[in-house]
Amino acid sequence: MAKATLSLSLLLLSCISVGTLKLVEGEKTWCVAKPSSDPATLMTNINYACSQVDCRVLKKGCPCFSPDNLMNHASIAMNLYYQSRGRNKWNCNFKNSALIVMTDPSYGNCVYE
């Protein structure tokens, strides 16, 4: 019984908190725009994230250009920033206009890192 308790304790110690959600350390997560975000906020997020990371995948003709809308482009740019900064919850805040998700948002040839 002591061994089972020790194993459970080690598992709990390897968890990190993201808001009220607990994720096992090393589990892949992505940062996406909140659907309720307004267009001005999404544009600000794209501009900021793309000033910090390479957003060429969003250019016309590139895999993540379509669908060509702010929600899609903001999610991709915000995720690029989040991934490049080590997937810390504070790197997916964007003034409370982002969500951390555990389901891969990749689609078609657009692969979220």
pLDDT digits (tens, 9 = 90+) for 12-65: 223 233 333 444 456 899 999 999 999 999 999 999 999 999 999 999 999 999
Is 70 exceeded by the pLDDT of residue 75? yes
Q: Where are the domains of the chain?
A: 26-101
More confident residue, 25 or 87: 87
pTM for the full model? Answer: 0.76
Q: Indicate the pairing of strand 21-24 with strand 30-33.
A: unpaired
Q: What percent of the chain has pLDDT over 70?
A: 77
Q: Does domain 26-101 have CATH number 1.20.58.1040?
A: yes
Is 60 exceeded by the pLDDT of residue 92? yes
* Mean pLDDT lowest among 9-13, 39-43, 82-86: 9-13
Query: What is the CB neighbour count within 10 angstroms for residue 69?
Result: 11
Which of 33, 68, 57, 49 is CA-nearest to residue 113? 57
Over residues 59-86, the mean pLDDT reads: 96
Determine contact, residues 29/23, Cβ cutoff 8 Å: yes
